[in-house]
Structure 1
Amino acid sequence: MTRLLQITLFLLAIMLVFINVNAFKGDATFYYTGLGACGTTNKNSELVFALPAKNFDPSPGGNPNKNKNCGRKAKVKFGSKSVIVRCVDRCAGCKPGDIDLSPAAFDKLADRKRGRILVTWEFIS
């Protein structure tokens, strides 16, 4: 293998590591909203989500209301459907990559009777 080809393959491998760094794959469930960890009270009709605790923590000074993820938007995809949601809460029971959606957000992707769907999602702000 020529030196140029080795360098090209190395650079390509480095690029692949950094593509979609903010992309996640996991289970999406839904929860009934209320007062969230970000300090706001939300309604089930809003397009919001709770971020897994491992992605959410830690918060500045231990105050989740000041968490850098509060208010961030994410695009969640399920098959050909997608929804834009805003982070308002922390999901203690979610594994990294999972996402807990408001009922309205889940409804944009699938019938709630499914309860759990495999999605991909990424932060867009």
Structure 2
Amino acid sequence: MSRLLQITLFLLAIMLVFINVNAFKGDATFYYTGLGACGTTNKNSELVFALPAKNFDPSPGGNPNKNKNCGRRAKVKFGSKSVIVRCVDRCAGCKPGDIDLSPAAFDKLADRKRGRILVTWEFIS
């Protein structure tokens, strides 16, 4: 194999590692919103989500209303569908990678009768 091809393949492998470094995979469920851990009251009609406690809690300072994840946007994908959501809450029962979506956000991806769907998601802001 030529030296140039080896270098190209090596750089491609490194790029592939970094492309998905911020991507998560897990179960998405829906929850009825209200006063969230970020200190705002949200409606079920808003496109919002709750982050797993293990991702939400390490924010410095300990005040959940000032959590660095509050307000961040994420793109959630299920099959060929996707939705952009805003972080407004913490999900105590979610495993790392799992998220809770508002009913409106879940509806953009699947019928609520499914209850739980396997999604990929990543922060976009």
Q: How far 1:123 moved relative to its partner?
A: 1.1
1:28 deviates by: 0.5
| SS of corresponding position for 1:61 | coil
Which stretch of the first structure deviates more once superposed, 97-106 or 55-64?
55-64
* Alpha-carbon distance, 1:16 to partner: 1.4
TM-score normalised to structure 1 length: 0.91
Q: Deviations over 1:81-106 (max 9, x none)?
A: 11111000011111111110001111
Q: Which residue of 2 aligns with 1:117?
A: 117
Identity %: 98
- 1:62 paired with 2:77, answer no
| Displacement of 1:79 | 1.4
| Structure 2 residue 81 is matched with structure 1 residue 78 | no
Q: Distance in 2 between matches of 1:10 and 1:80?
A: 31
Kindly provide the CA deviation profile for residues 58-79 of structure 1, in whole angstroms up to 9, marking residues without a partner as x: 1221111111110011111111
Give the secondary structure class of the aligned counterpart of 2:61: helix
Instruction: Report the CA distance between 1:22 and its aligned residue.
Output: 1.6
CA deviation map 1:33-59 (0-9, x unaligned) = 111111111111111000111221212
- Structure 1: stretches of 5+ with no match in the other structure: none
TM-score (norm 2): 0.91
| C-alpha displacement of 1:4 | 4.1
Task: Tell me how far 1:3 sits from its aligned partner.
Answer: 4.4
Q: CA RMSD in A?
A: 1.4
Give the unaligned 5+ runs of structure 2: none
Q: Tell me by how many angstroms 1:8 deviates.
A: 3.2
